[in-house]
C-alpha cells in the first residue's frame, strides 16, 4: 500500500472532525455573515502570506535524500507566490480593511499553526511541510467551491462579482496540486519523514478547526 493511501487513512479522522465542527458545518451549508467572512479572510491572508516562506524554510533543510521534495517545493513556491494579494483583493471587494489585514495579527489558532509549521520544517523534519500542503489542498479542493457559493448566497452576492477569487481559484487549482502531491508522497519511504508528515497533517487539521472556535477569527470580527 502506498504511503499516500496510508496518509489518507491515518488522518481522515482529523478531516472528519472538521466537518463535525458546528461552525464549519454551518459555513459549508449556509455560508457566513459578511463580518464573519471579512474576519475569516483576515486570518486566511496571514496563512497564505506565510505559505511560501514556510515552504522555502523546508526546502532549505532538504538534503539530497529528499531532492525530489526540494524540487517540488521550488516549483510550488513559484506557483503560489503573490497569492496573498488575491486574498487582499477579496478583502477589498468585501469592504474590509486591507491595512488592518496586514497590520493586525491573526487569531491565536492561526498564529499557532503558522509557528508550528515553521518549527516542524526547521526543527522536526523538512518533509513536515507536506502535511501542511496536504491539509490545505484537501480543504481547498473538497470544500472551497462549496464554501464560496454558500457565502455568496448568504451575503447576497454572485460568486463572480468579486470577493471570492482565492476560494474559487484554489478549489480547481488544488485538485491538480493534490494529484502532484499524490505522486510525490508515494516516493517517500523514510519512516521518520512519513511520521513527520502524518503528525503535521493532524496538527494542521486540528488548528484549522480551532479557527472556528471561540478564540478563532470570530474574536476579531470588530477589527476585520
pLDDT digits (tens, 9 = 90+) for 91-144: 999 999 999 999 999 999 999 999 999 999 999 999 999 999 999 989 988 888
Q: Which pTM does this prediction carry? A: 0.93
Residue 182, domain extent = 3-223
- What is the count of structural domains for the chain? 1
pLDDT, position 224: 46
Nearest-10 crossing angle of helices 3-20, 165-185? 150
Q: What percent of the chain is modeled with pLDDT above 70? A: 96
Alpha carbons 70 and 55: distance in angstroms, whole number: 9
What is the DSSP-derived secondary structure letter of residue 214? T
CATH code for the domain of 149:
1.20.910.10
The alpha carbon dihedral of 196, 197, 200, 202 has a sign of: negative
Q: Which of 173, 90, 83, 87 is nearest to 137 (CA)?
A: 173
pLDDT digits (tens, 9 = 90+) for 39-51: 999 999 999 999 9
* For residues 135-161, average pLDDT: 92
Alpha carbons 213 and 112: distance in angstroms, whole number: 14
Amino acid at each position: 500500500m502506498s504511503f499516500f493511501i496510508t496518509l489518507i487513512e491515518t488522518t481522515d479522522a482529523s478531516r472528519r472532525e472538521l466537518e463535525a465542527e458546528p461552525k464549519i458545518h454551518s459555513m459549508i451549508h449556509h455560508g457566513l455573515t459578511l463580518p464573519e467572512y471579512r474576519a475569516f479572510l483576515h486570518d486566511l491572508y496571514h496563512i497564505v502570506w506565510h505559505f511560501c516562506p514556510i515552504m522555502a524554510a523546508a526546502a532549505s533543510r532538504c538534503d539530497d535524500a529528499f531532492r525530489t521534495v526540494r524540487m517540488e517545493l521550488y516549483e510550488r513556491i513559484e506557483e503560489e507566490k503573490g497569492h496573498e494579494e488575491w486574498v487582499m483583493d477579496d478583502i477589498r471587494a468585501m469592504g474590509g480593511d486591507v491595512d488592518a489585514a496586514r497590520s493586525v495579527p491573526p487569531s491565536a489558532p492561526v498564529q499557532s499553526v503558522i509557528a508550528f509549521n515553521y518549527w516542524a520544517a526547521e526543527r522536526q523534519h523538512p518533509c513536515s511541510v507536506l502535511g501542511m500542503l496536504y491539509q490545505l489542498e484537501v480543504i481547498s479542493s473538497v470544500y472551497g467551491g462549496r464554501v464560496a457559493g454558500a457565502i455568496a448566497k448568504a451575503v447576497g452576492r454572485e460568486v463572480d462579482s468579486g470577493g471570492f477569487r482565492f476560494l474559487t481559484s484554489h478549489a480547481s487549482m488544488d485538485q491538480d496540486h493534490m494529484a502532484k502531491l499524490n505522486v510525490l508522497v508515494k516516493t517517500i519511504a523514510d519512516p521518520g519523514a512519513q511520521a513527520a508528515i502524518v503528525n503535521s497533517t493532524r496538527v494542521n487539521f486540528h488548528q484549522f478547526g480551532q479557527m472556528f472556535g471561540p478564540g478563532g477569527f470570530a474574536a476579531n470580527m470588530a477589527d476585520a
